[in-house]
Amino acid sequence: MNPTVTRALKHRLFWPIVTLLGLLVLNVAVRPAFFSIRLQDGHLFGSLVDILRNGAPTLLVALGMTLVIATRGIDLSVGAVVAISGALACSIIAGSADPNSPTTVLVAVGISIVLALILGAWNGFLVSVIGVQPIIATLILMTAGRGLAMLITEGQIVTVNSAPYKVIGGGYWLALPASIIIALGMFAIAAVLTRKTALGLLIESVGINPQASRIAGVRSRSIIWMVYIFSGLCAGIAGLMISSNVTAADANNAGLWIEMDAILAVVIGGTSLAGGRYSLGGTLIGAAIIQTLTTTVYTVGIAPEITLVFKALVVIIVCLLQSPALQTRLGSLRRRPDRRRPDRRRPVTTSTGGVLS
């Protein structure tokens, strides 16, 4: 096999890219106008634009989840933080004298983001300082967070009528949905901070061996604390997007199962749950796969009730194709000689006239 092809097959992003392209081709086969994009009233519209806009919250949450997983952690509370952030912002705006005031919206957004940072810091404190297992520490907030969001909204679905707030999740900047620009901006910031500085190397070292990193002088507790704060920030912004898009805060359903989609996006993107090396680009592709898969389910006509089953099957297939153990076995099968083929080697005659077999 060509060495270039072999290297491509072994690349961690090969199968995710193939999966994404396959889903796009399937959508085109079902709906030929799937790739069409039109400009109307200075705004871009189309199925691809919808996928990017609807997938922006998942990408944001997955960005924070990537860095948390890289440190051998997990954050199950991001869905609750999404609900809390949206509930607090909508409650402040709905209770203000002028919901359409940009100042009111900025204050609501600022308070919500600060609360999301505090919640992320709480998770980081439990994990890095107290030493609670990440899955338990974040499960506490995952359980209590929905209740906190219900307390903020007083058990009601809070609706808002605010044009400035609507821009975050449903508005447009430079002809593109604002949510896409915000998500890509956060992605660019994370990429620069982790790949153009030593921060990314420190995160990977903590994930590979926290004890050795601490002995080498790396402040592993500070690194772990920081990634959970960043995860809370990303979830808070995603909560603002979701509530802004629907102009309402639903404490029960906002961000429901988004933590699972984020974890799946990270794993599909090639980041190991065991910590260490991670791929932000892979997470971007993984988030695109998750959202494209959801769109495909509706395009093909699969019943929404089995969406999660269909999604799980695709994820299992991608993860199996990425599995090093499976790739090793397939490689050994390709290299195994055919035992049924007769031995055509020329016999060797000895000096006494015998023949060596």
3-state secondary structure string, 283-306? Answer: HHHHHHHHHHHHHHHHHHCCCHHH
- pLDDT average, residue stretch 173-199: 93
The verdict on residue 156 lying in a domain is yes
The verdict on residue 85 lying in a domain is yes
The verdict on residue 249 lying in a domain is yes
Q: Share the mean pLDDT of the chain.
A: 87
Q: How many domains does the chain have?
A: 1
Residue 351 has pLDDT above 60, yes or no: no
More confident residue, 13 or 194: 194
pLDDT at 317: 78
Residue 271 has pLDDT above 90, yes or no: no
- pLDDT average, residue stretch 85-107: 94
Residue 6 has pLDDT above 80, yes or no: no
Highest average pLDDT, of 25-34, 40-49, 63-72, comes from: 63-72
Each residue of 149-178: pLDDT tens digit? 999 998 899 999 999 999 999 899 988 999
- pLDDT average, residue stretch 3-21: 78
The verdict on residue 110 lying in a domain is yes
CATH number for 128: 1.10.3470
Find all residues with CB under 8 Å of 197, minimum gap 6, and list them: none
More confident residue, 343 or 216: 216
pLDDT at 346: 52
Residue 113 has pLDDT above 70, yes or no: yes
Residue 338 has pLDDT above 80, yes or no: no
Per mean pLDDT, which range of 57-71, 81-95, 180-194, 303-317 is the poorest? 303-317
The verdict on residue 307 lying in a domain is no
The verdict on residue 344 lying in a domain is no
pLDDT at 257: 86
Q: Residue 338 corresponds to which tokens in the numbers above? A: 């055919």
The verdict on residue 265 lying in a domain is yes
Q: Is-contact 181 115, C-beta < 8 A?
A: no
DSSP 8-state symbol, 122: H
Q: Is-contact 135 6, C-beta < 8 A?
A: no
301-330 per-residue burial string, b: 16 or more CB within 10 A, e: under 16:
eeeeeeeeebbeebbeebeebbeeeeeeee
pLDDT at 335: 62
pLDDT band at 312 (very low <50, low <70, confident <90, very high): confident
The verdict on residue 309 lying in a domain is no
SS3 (DSSP) at 46? strand
Cα dist from 96 to 16, 101, 249, 291, whole Å:
46, 9, 16, 35
More confident residue, 60 or 276: 60
Residue 218 has pLDDT above 60, yes or no: yes
Range of the domain at 198: 43-288
pLDDT band at 318 (very low <50, low <70, confident <90, very high): confident
